[in-house]
């Protein structure tokens, strides 16, 4: 019978996650003393267990032989309508991939949404790999597990084994800015959360690059920031930023003529707040966002211009990369583990030329 992490944990008196941390050689936030580390390695050697050295891919075949694999896990701590939409597309991509590799393949897995109770036992619940739909770092339990992980999104300083599949946020910001510049806007505000610094930074730098290229003052790109946590709520924070920057008592000359929002939900709050202070969209303020979720951006009044994410391509790539990780076929290089796909600017009625504004 194959030796498991649990066997080593029982012999050493530590948790399986600690054993995983030692044998994989990864720095995932779990502190392990040098004494414990030596003890784990000694027991592993005594039981004829081959440690996974630093740099080995997640889900090493040596470790996978110790468990049954039945499904792909999907994790999103903030489950909502967008999550359901991405899960639907992931299921379609998984069916397509299964057809391509052969329906009778032993690697034909299904999807399962994970709960918080699943996280501490990722190495024992029959999971082939993990897809994260949250633009945040891996949960501690996932970071210490031995499963392949793919994130639909991007973060700063990701674990070296993680593959990120995401939209080209710098390019998306640049495309939005090129469009607004072409409409005659020279002073714009960018409303985005502080909780996702890499995404926000990439979009902001993409926007600013257009002003720099045209030798315009980049300080005319005004960053507005809110948090995604309550107290006060995200909605209240967005309203506060809008009320402060677009206050009717402020001179119209000093107000931005366009507002770029992180997504269509934030754009909806912004549009309502702008109406309350007497700023008409798009006559006085052009409004544009990211992430063209079906039926949301189009339902706003006026319909919102957005950068549409290539969701089918993103989910298809995520599934393909997870299987490649599972089979240890992804090169250990930053370029192979950070995949950016272009978005598509969808133009609707929420933006107008400045010459047409009243």
Is 110 within the bounds of a domain? no
Highest-pLDDT range among 21-30, 82-91, 127-136, 223-232: 82-91
- Distance, CA of 112 to chain centre: 19
Q: Which of 98-112, 267-281, 290-304 has the lowest mean pLDDT?
A: 98-112
Share of the chain above pLDDT 90, in %: 47
Is 124 within the bounds of a domain? no
Say whether both 45 and 186 belong to one domain: no
Is 177 within the bounds of a domain? yes
Looking at residue 53, its pLDDT comes to 37
Domain count along the chain: 2
State how far the alpha carbon of 300 is from the alpha carbons of 189, 292, 293, 305, in Å: 20, 12, 12, 10
The last residue of one of the domains, among 10, 29, 54, is 54
Contacting residues for 265 by C-beta, under 8 A, at least 6 apart: 296
The secondary element (H helix, E strand) that includes residue 305 is strand 305-308
Is 126 within the bounds of a domain? no
Domain with 267, as residue range(s), is: 169-308+344-356
Tens digits of per-residue pLDDT, 129-169?
A: 999 998 776 777 776 667 899 999 998 888 878 899 999 99
What gap in Å lies between CA 152 and CA 312, rounded to an integer? 12
Looking at residue 132, its pLDDT comes to 94
Burial of residue 126 (CB within 10 Å: 0-12, 13-18, 19+) is: middle
Q: For the domain that residue 208 is a member of, what is the CATH number?
A: 3.40.50.2300
Is 133 within the bounds of a domain? no
pLDDT category of residue 88 using cuts at 50, 70 and 90:
very high
What gap in Å lies between CA 51 and CA 46, rounded to an integer? 12
Tens digits of per-residue pLDDT, 6-38?
A: 888 888 888 877 777 777 655 444 567 778 877
Is 68 within the bounds of a domain? no
Say whether both 40 and 174 belong to one domain: no
Q: What count of other Cβ atoms lies within 10 Å of the Cβ of residue 46? A: 11
Section 231-259 average pLDDT: 83
What gap in Å lies between CA 119 and CA 116, rounded to an integer? 5
Say whether both 208 and 351 belong to one domain: yes
What gap in Å lies between CA 44 and CA 39, rounded to an integer? 9
Q: Is the pLDDT of residue 79 over 70?
A: yes
Say whether both 181 and 41 belong to one domain: no
Say whether both 205 and 349 belong to one domain: yes
Say whether both 177 and 49 belong to one domain: no
Looking at residue 59, its pLDDT comes to 47
Is 277 within the bounds of a domain? yes
CA atoms 139, 147, 291, 218: torsion sign? positive
Rounded to the nearest integer, the mean pLDDT of the chain is 84
The secondary element (H helix, E strand) that includes residue 258 is strand 258-261
Q: Is the peptide bond before 232 cis (omega within 30 degrees of 0)?
A: yes
The last residue of one of the domains, among 20, 35, 54, is 54
Work out whether strand 127-132 and strand 188-193 pair parallel, antiparallel, or are unpaired. Answer: unpaired
Say whether both 208 and 352 belong to one domain: yes
Strand order in 286-290's β-sheet? 221-226, 188-193, 258-261, 286-290, 305-308, 344-346
Q: For the domain that residue 41 is a member of, what is the CATH number?
A: 1.10.260.40
Q: Is the pLDDT of residue 55 over 80?
A: no
Is 220 within the bounds of a domain? yes
pTM above 0.85, yes or no: no
Q: Which residue has the higher pLDDT, 342 or 128?
A: 342
Q: 355, 187, 183: which is closest to 256 by C-alpha?
A: 187
Work out whether strand 258-261 and strand 110-113 pair parallel, antiparallel, or are unpaired. Answer: unpaired
């Amino acid at each position: 019978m194959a030796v498991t992490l649990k066997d080593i944990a029982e012999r050493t008196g530590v948790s399986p996650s600690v054993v995983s941390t030692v044998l994989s050689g990864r720095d995932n936030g779990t502190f392990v003393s040098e004494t414990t580390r030596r003890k784990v390695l000694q027991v592993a050697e005594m039981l004829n267990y081959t440690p996974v050295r630093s740099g080995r891919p997640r889900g090493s075949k040596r470790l996978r032989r110790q468990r049954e694999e039945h499904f792909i896990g999907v994790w999103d701590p903030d489950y909502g309508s967008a999550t359901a939409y991405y899960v639907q597309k992931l299921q379609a991509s998984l069916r397509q991939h299964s057809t391509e590799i052969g329906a009778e393949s032993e690697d034909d897995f299904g999807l399962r949404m994970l709960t918080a109770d699943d996280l501490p036992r990722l190495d024992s619940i029959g999971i082939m790999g993990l897809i994260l739909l949250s633009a945040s770092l891996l949960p501690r339990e996932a970071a210490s597990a031995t499963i392949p992980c793919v994130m639909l999104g991007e973060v700063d300083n990701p674990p070296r084994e993680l593959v990120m599949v995401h939209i080209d946020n710098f390019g998306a910001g640049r495309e939005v800015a090129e469009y607004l510049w072409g409409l005659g806007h020279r002073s714009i505000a960018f409303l985005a959360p502080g909780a996702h610094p890499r995404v926000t930074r990439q979009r902001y730098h993409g926007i600013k690059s257009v002003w720099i290229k045209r030798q315009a003052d980049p300080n005319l790109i005004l960053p507005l920031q809110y948090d995604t946590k309550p107290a006060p709520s995200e909605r209240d924070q967005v309203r506060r930023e809008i009320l402060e920057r677009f206050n009717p008592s402020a001179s119209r000359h000093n107000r931005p003529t366009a507002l770029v929002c992180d997504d269509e939900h934030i754009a909806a709050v912004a549009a309502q707040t702008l109406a309350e202070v007497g700023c008409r969209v798009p006559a006085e303020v052009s409004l544009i966002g990211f992430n063209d979720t079906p039926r949301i951006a189009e339902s706003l009044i006026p319909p919102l211009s957005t950068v549409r994410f290539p969701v089918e391509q993103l989910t298809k790539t995520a599934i393909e990369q997870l299987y490649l990780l599972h089979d240890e076929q992804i090169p250990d290089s930053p370029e192979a583990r950070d995949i950016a796909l272009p978005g598509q600017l969808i133009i609707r009625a929420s933006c107008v030329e400045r010459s047409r504004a009243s």
